[in-house]
């Protein structure tokens, strides 16, 4: 009896071990169903328990209160990025669910992780020279907000998440301004891993065409030239060739020049506010898949899955080159002098691209009785179209020896810290000769964009001034691999600058004023003592009738040209020091 009971217990335990060993969350994309947040995390938890090569980390908070997870697969069970880099391995980071309604990447990420770990041949084929890191679900708040109705144009799945996060912010517009806890934790993850290759998975609408998946590669002109050339001439063509061998042919993101793509498409200029634009500031090869919203959910999942495999295979085979290119770019970025701050499309250069689309036509809407455009799926076409993928600089600057930012602007300083920008603090109060910007013009937006009234049309002039700075103010030297990030956020007219995102708006406001009845006597005295200003004053009255008839305008003119007018008004708070100087620093 005892022996039979013991045998029964051993059998039950053995069956339990087998069940645990083979346990995995079942994917249902073939049934037009996407994973819930709980199912997604459970899938990675099970893999963590079953495989020594896998580990699931809670990396930090998000706006919904749940931790942002990071799943890492390492063939040799090494999960330390510093140690990984010393071995010459490359880190690939995949971010899923930034827009949880675009769920294909979430399910494809789970499928990828399961297939790699359950199949040792896959581990050796794809992960011999690389370590794979996956963010299972970036926008957790949006993923928990499930509904069949969030994406009116989308062909499945039955239920999906919401674009906005718990604060109703678009996380793919938050990488530079970092308003959300999600973005802060992402910055920590990104700078912890320092990935050589990054992928963010999306779904897009727009034109209808024959492709299930399209690709945004970070704009190659923006990268360091050695990386940009490799990306454009080697990496991207190889990925397109690999995908052509799969069931899902790849096309560049369909960014139409005109209303429909049959007239031509252009490369997408990924601004620093979006994931790939942010990643490329740190000399990372960055990609964004855009699955096609009208294709069945199963096709979207499988096509991005195949792209993930293609990206891993290429990176694994070319890991040494990719690693060396990033190292060289990082080193040269430290010493680089000139930096582009804004770009525009060069419409004089293009290449021919084979495009498979559907013919755009007009019809009368049965609902409204009005003419409307549609894509006729019964009339497919294949033709050569122009593809514009060259951008040219519209503005650039020579970097200073260092920037100095007063400690009062702690919001900007926090974001610099998040991105591991090296900073030193002044050890005492001191007066420094610096170059400062005055903002001569800018246009605040009329409505909020992702939580900010964004400034655009920014124009500046510069002055050399002696300004008092204080113990604890921050010096940021431009001898860092992250120089691209430093300059993009601190130069006020750069694309994605902290100034454009309103972090310095209070410096654009007057704090001191004058009373006309009291100031008039001082104004008259000041004019008498400054004959050159008096001449300008009299000339202005003769030339401008409205000015000549306004008592207040005349006094304001004198006030603005007097020592009483605050020098700090519209003076951008971040100063530049262009020559090496001996600074009192707490290193």
The answer as to whether 160 is a domain residue is: yes
Q: Name the region of 560 (left: φ>0; alpha: ψ -120 to 50; beta: rest).
A: alpha
Q: Over 80: is that where the pLDDT of 587 sits?
A: no
Q: Over 90: is that where the pLDDT of 529 sits?
A: yes
Return the structure tokens found at 255: 């960014």
Say yes or no: 173 and 264 in one domain. Answer: yes
Q: Over 70: is that where the pLDDT of 9 sits?
A: no
Which of 364, 392, 420 terminates a domain? The answer is: 392
The answer as to whether 267 is a domain residue is: yes
Which of 392, 417, 444 terminates a domain? The answer is: 392
- Overall number of domains in the chain: 4
The answer as to whether 361 is a domain residue is: yes
What is the H or E stretch that residue 331 is in? helix 319-335
Confidence of residue 18 (pLDDT cuts 50, 70, 90): very low
Say yes or no: 65 and 112 in one domain. Answer: yes
Largest Cα span, the chain: 118
Residue 491's Cβ-count burial label (10 Å; 0-12, 13-18, 19+) is: buried
The answer as to whether 344 is a domain residue is: no
Q: What is the pTM of this model?
A: 0.94
The CA-atom distances, in angstroms, between 566 and each of 22, 366, 509, 542, 571 are 72, 64, 10, 28, 10
**CATH at residue 68:** 3.40.630.10
Structural domain that includes position 439: 395-510+568-586
Q: Evaluate whether 306 touches 176 at the Cβ level (below 8 Å).
A: no
Q: Give the single-character DSSP code of 419.
A: T
What tens digit of pLDDT does each residue of 345-364 get? 999 999 999 999 999 999 99
CA separation for the pair 382, 74 (Å, rounded): 43
Q: Evaluate whether 447 touches 453 at the Cβ level (below 8 Å).
A: yes
DSSP E strands in 20-117: the ranges are 54-60, 68-73, 90-95
Determine how β-strand 90-95 pairs with β-strand 197-204: parallel
What residues pair up with 292 in beta bridges, in sequence order? 204
Say yes or no: 310 and 446 in one domain. Answer: no
Q: Over 80: is that where the pLDDT of 231 sits?
A: yes
Say yes or no: 360 and 487 in one domain. Answer: no
Per mean pLDDT, which range of 20-24, 263-267, 346-350, 355-359 is the poorest?
A: 20-24
Say yes or no: 148 and 271 in one domain. Answer: yes
Say yes or no: 327 and 474 in one domain. Answer: no
The answer as to whether 27 is a domain residue is: no
Q: Evaluate whether 157 touches 437 at the Cβ level (below 8 Å).
A: no
Say yes or no: 387 and 400 in one domain. Answer: no
Looking at residue 6, what is its pLDDT?
53
The answer as to whether 103 is a domain residue is: yes
The answer as to whether 192 is a domain residue is: yes
CA separation for the pair 439, 444 (Å, rounded): 13
Say yes or no: 7 and 54 in one domain. Answer: yes
Q: Evaluate whether 53 touches 75 at the Cβ level (below 8 Å).
A: yes
Say yes or no: 357 and 431 in one domain. Answer: no
SS percent in the chain: helix, strand, coil, step 5: 40, 25, 35
Q: Evaluate whether 241 touches 141 at the Cβ level (below 8 Å).
A: no
Burial code (b: 16+ CB inside 10 Å, e: under 16) for 553-575 equals: ebbbbbbebbeeeeeeebbbbbb
Q: Over 70: is that where the pLDDT of 2 sits?
A: no
Q: Where are the alpha helices (DSSP H) in 420-572?
A: 483-490, 516-529, 531-543, 545-548, 551-560
Say yes or no: 195 and 236 in one domain. Answer: yes
Q: 483-490 and 410-418 helices cross at what angle (nearest 10)?
A: 160
Interior angle at CA 118, CA 12 and CA 303, nearest 5: 135
Q: For the chain, what is the radius of gyration of the CA atoms? A: 29
Say yes or no: 186 and 95 in one domain. Answer: yes
DSSP 225-267: HHHHHHIIIIIHHHHHHHHHHSSS-EEE---BSSSSGGG-EE-
Say yes or no: 71 and 16 in one domain. Answer: yes
Residue 304 or residue 207, greater confidence? 304
The answer as to whether 213 is a domain residue is: yes
What tens digit of pLDDT does each residue of 557-584 get? 999 999 999 999 999 999 999 999 889 8
The CA-atom distances, in angstroms, between 538 and each of 109, 271, 531, 542, 561 are 73, 48, 10, 6, 14
């Amino acid at each position: 009896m005892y022996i039979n009971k013991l045998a029964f217990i051993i059998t039950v335990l053995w069956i339990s071990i087998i069940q645990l060993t083979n346990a995995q969350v079942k994917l249902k994309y073939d049934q037009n169903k996407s994973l819930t947040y709980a199912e997604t995390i459970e899938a990675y938890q099970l893999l963590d328990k079953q495989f020594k090569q896998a580990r699931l980390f809670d990396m930090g908070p998000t706006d919904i209160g749940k931790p942002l997870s990071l799943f890492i697969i390492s063939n040799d069970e090494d999960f330390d990025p510093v140690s990984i880099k010393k071995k010459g391995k490359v880190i690939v980071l995949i971010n899923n669910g930034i827009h949880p309604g675009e769920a294909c990447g979430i399910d494809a990420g789970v499928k990828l992780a399961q297939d790699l770990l359950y199949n040792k041949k896959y581990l050796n084929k794809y992960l011999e020279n690389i370590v794979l890191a996956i963010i299972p679900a970036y926008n957790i708040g949006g993923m928990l907000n499930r509904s069949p109705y969030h994406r009116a144009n989308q062909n499945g799945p039955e239920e999906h998440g919401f674009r906005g996060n718990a604060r109703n912010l678009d996380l793919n517009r938050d990488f530079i301004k970092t308003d959300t806890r999600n973005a802060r934790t992402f910055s920590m993850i990104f700078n912890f891993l320092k990935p050589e290759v990054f992928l963010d998975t999306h779904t897009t609408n727009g034109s209808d065409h024959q492709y299930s998946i399209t690709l945004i590669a970070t704009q190659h002109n923006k990268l360091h030239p050695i990386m940009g050339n490799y990306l454009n001439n080697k990496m991207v063509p190889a990925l397109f060739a690999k995908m052509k061998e799969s069931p899902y042919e790849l096309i560049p993101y369909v960014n139409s020049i005109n209303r429909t793509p049959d007239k031509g498409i252009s490369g997408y200029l990924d601004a620093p506010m979006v994931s790939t634009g942010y990643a490329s500031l740190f000399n990372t090869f960055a990609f964004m898949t855009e699955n096609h919203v009208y294709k069945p959910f199963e096709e979207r999942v499988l096509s991005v899955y195949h792209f993930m495999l293609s990206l891993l295979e290429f990176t694994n085979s070319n890991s040494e080159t990719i690693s060396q290119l990033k190292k060289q770019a990082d080193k040269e970025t430290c010493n680089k002098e000139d930096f582009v701050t804004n770009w525009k499309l060069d419409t004089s250069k293009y290449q021919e691209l084979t495009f498979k689309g559907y013919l755009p036509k007009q019809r009368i809407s049965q609902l409204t009785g009005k003419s409307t455009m549609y894509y006729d799926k019964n009339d497919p076409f294949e033709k050569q179209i122009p593809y514009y993928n060259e951008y040219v600089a519209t503005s650039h600057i020579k970097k200073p020896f260092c920037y100095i930012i007063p400690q009062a602007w702690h919001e900007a300083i926090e974001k610099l810290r998040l991105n591991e920008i090296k900073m030193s603090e002044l050890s005492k109060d001191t007066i420094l000769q610096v170059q400062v910007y005055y903002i001569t013009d800018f246009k605040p937006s009329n409505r909020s964009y992702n939580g900010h009234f964004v400034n655009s049309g920014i124009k500046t002039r510069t002055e050399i001034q002696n300004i008092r700075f204080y113990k604890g103010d921050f010096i940021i030297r431009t001898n860092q691999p992250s120089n691209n990030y430093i300059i993009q956020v601190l130069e006020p007219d750069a694309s994605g600058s902290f100034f454009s995102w309103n972090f310095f708006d209070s410096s654009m406001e007057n704090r001191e004023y004058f009373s006309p009845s009291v100031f008039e006597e001082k104004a008259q005295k000041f004019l008498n003592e400054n004959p050159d200003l008096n001449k300008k004053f009299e000339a202005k009255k003769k030339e401008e009738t409205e000015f000549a008839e306004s008592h207040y305008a005349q006094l304001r003119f004198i006030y603005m040209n007097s020592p009483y007018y605050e020098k700090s008004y519209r003076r951008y708070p971040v100063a530049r020091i262009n020559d090496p100087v001996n600074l009192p620093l707490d290193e």
